[in-house]
Amino acid sequence: MMRHRTWRTLAGAAALALLATACASSTSSGDVEVRPFAEVQDSELVFENDPTFPGRGIFRMTTTEPMICAIVWGPTEALGNFNNSLAMNGTGIVQHDVLLPGAEPGETYFYRVQGSTADGTLFASELMSFTLPAAVDAGSAGPAIDRGPNLAEGGIIVGVSSEFSPAFQPANAIDGSLETEWSSSGDGDASFITIDLGAETPVGAIEFLTRTMADGSATTTSFTLTVDDQDTYGPFPAGSPADANTTEVEFSGRVLRFDVDSSTGGNTGAIEIRVFGP
């Protein structure tokens, strides 16, 4: 993830500088002045639950001018988590929508917002706290269906439209983890990924858990499935960690190509792709 790694390295250094100065300005030679973040804040700081991913929050704000910003947060005043908007992609932006992995509904966290403008001026907020809205009980969805192992995890990726970076490699879509994801490099509706199951296999159900950005971009809404370069099925609705949208199918095949049929555009991809037997 070369471009994102570059940003994370720079932002990490800026974060350390901001924390080290404890948001205090100084006129001493060689010291760095850190100005109040309120000077560049142009909206309320909003914290909400991610409706597509249980146990993940979203932080939103706008700034008066393009900035590279981050939120440092955690369950205690020691903080410990550092997140920024991937939409920055190495440059300043004014609309900051940041995913907060691990932020649970109803829990209170401490945080500080910090960043830099194009002229190198550093800004930071005071230490504050936020509490995500309590989870809404949607009622019982009934007993879960045991579909057996995810056959895709035993397969290999043999084709892909593109990858954003090594950190978002295609293999992440079949590694059994919701903490990783495959992202294309801006392919939008042209994104595809092909999995070789290793042998002809009967299939009874499939799931395509879309990745999504905090601003709603990169969300796959429907996908198609082509089996062994022959029969194409779908389009089917894509799912998310909150609602997998399992699709019942009936075929046998070895090489499965998943194509994004419709999306909100951008770096589309998948958190996880699941293939189950009958």
What are the residue boundaries of the structural domains of the chain, listed by start? 2-131, 151-276
Give the per-residue pLDDT at 135.
Answer: 77
Same fold flag, 2-131 and 151-276: no
Residues 88/68, Cβ–Cβ less than 8 Å: yes
pLDDT value for 2: 30
- Residue in the structure block whose two tokens are 């401490």: 110
Q: What share of the chain is helix, strand, coil (3-state, %, to 5)?
A: 15, 45, 40
pLDDT on residue 43: 96
The reported pLDDT for the residue numbered 124 is: 97
Architecture of domain 151-276: Sandwich (2.60)
Read off the tokens for 194: 């092909």
DSSP 113-155: EEEEETT--EEEPPPEEEEPPPPP------PPP-----GGGGS
Report the DSSP beta bridge partners of residue 43. Answer: none
Supply 100's token pair.
């907060």
pLDDT for 25 equals 40
Among candidate residues 80, 130, 91, the one with its CA nearest the CA of residue 107? 130
> May I ask the CATH class of domain 2-131?
mainly beta
Position 24 scores a pLDDT of 39
Q: What is the pLDDT of residue 139?
A: 52
Determine the pLDDT at residue 263.
98
pLDDT of residue 142: 57
In whole angstroms, give the CA distance from residue 61 to residue 97.
7
Spans in the chain with pLDDT lower than 50: 1-29
